[in-house]
Chains A and B, each alone.
Chain A
Amino acid sequence: NAGVMQNPRHLVRRRGQEARLRCSPMKGHSHVYWYRQLPEEGLKFMVYLQKENIIDESGMPKERFSAEFPKEGPSILRIQQVVRGDSAAYFCASSPDRGLWNTIYFGEGSWLTVV
C-alpha cells in the first residue's frame, strides 16, 4: 500500500524555465492538496483539488502557477518562468474525502532549487 508519491524529489531549474511537480495520491484517495514550504518556514496551503476539479486555489500565486488533477494520472503542479523566490519544498497530501483530517497523508516533498 504505497503512500503519497511525489516526484521528482529534487529539481534544479534555471531562472525562466518551467518546473513540473507530480503527486500520486494514496490508493483510494481522490482529494489532493499542495503546500509550499519556504526555507525556515512552516507549510503554506496552495491549492486543493479533486479529480478534474480545482476546489480551492486561494493560496496559489496569481501568475505562473497552475495545478491540475486529471481523471487519469497524477496531480501536477506547474510553475512557469521560475524565479529564485520559487525555491522551496513543495508537499502534496491526499485524503479520501474533504475534511477527513485524520486520514490525510503527506508525501515526502519535492525540493525545487532555482539557480
Chain B
Amino acid sequence: GIQVEQSPPDLILQEGANSTLRCNFSDSVNNLQWFHQNPWGQLINLFYIPSGTKQNGRLSATTVATERYSLLYISSSQTTDSGVYFCAVAPQTGANNLFFGTGTRLTVIP
C-alpha cells in the first residue's frame, strides 16, 4: 500500500511559537486529510486538502500533489494544540480506506 511519512516525529514548542509539520506520500492520491488527536484520544478532522492551500484560524495547510507532500502550519501555538497530528491519504485508484502516517507528537509548553 501507499507509504505515508511524517516529520518530525516529535516537536516541543514554547507557547506562541510557530511550527511546520510535513507529510510525504509515495503515490498519487485523491484525498489528503490532517487530523489532530488530542491528549484524550479524540480525532479531530482539521483539513480535507487533496491539493492547494486552506486556512482555518491559526492553522493552515498546503498540499502539492504533484510533488507528493503536504505541510501543516501552526502559528502562535497554544497549549491546547498539544497532541498528535496525523496525515491520512487515499490512493487515487480503488481506495477503500485512508492510510495514516505515524504522526507528529506536538507538545506546547507554557
Stretch among A21-29, A37-45, A67-75 lining the B interface: A37-45
A83 within 8 A of B: no
Which of A45, A48, A106, A111 is B43 in contact with, Cβ under 8 Å?
A106
How many A-B residue pairs lie within 8 Å, measured between CB atoms? 56
**Could you tell me the distance between the alpha carbons of A43 and B100 in the complex, rounded to whole angstroms?**
6
Contacts of B90 in A (CB 8 A): 99, 101
Tell which of A33, A45, A55, A91 has the most Cβ of chain B within 10 Å. Answer: A45
Query: Contact partner of A109 among B35, B41, B101, CB < 8 A?
Result: B41
Category for how many chain A residues contact B: 20 to 34
Is A59 located at the chain interface by the 8 A CB criterion? yes
Q: When A89-B41, A109-B42, A111-B41 are in contact, do A42 and B101 touch as well, CB less than 8 Å?
A: yes
A97 at the interface (CB under 8 A from B): no
The size of the chain B interface, using a CB distance under 8 A, is 22
Q: Considering only CB atoms, which chain A residue lies closest to B95 in the complex?
A: A99
A1 at the interface (CB under 8 A from B): no
B31 smallest CB distance to A (angstroms): 4
Report whether A45 and B97 are in contact in the complex, using a CB–CB cutoff of 8 Å: yes
Please give, as numbers and ranges, the residues of chain B lying within 8 Å of A109 by CB-CB distance. Answer: 41-43
Judged by a CB distance under 8 angstroms, whether B45 is at the interface is yes
Q: Apart from A42-B4, A55-B96, A101-B48, list 14 A-B contacts with CB within 8 A.
A: A33-B97, A33-B98, A42-B103, A45-B96, A48-B96, A48-B97, A89-B41, A98-B96, A101-B31, A101-B90, A102-B33, A102-B48, A104-B45, A109-B41
Q: Give the interface of A toward B (CB within 8 A).
A: 33, 35, 41-45, 48, 55-56, 58-59, 89, 91, 98-99, 101-102, 104-106, 108-109, 111
**B residues near A, CB below 8 A?**
4, 30-31, 33, 35, 41-43, 45, 48, 86, 88, 90, 95-103
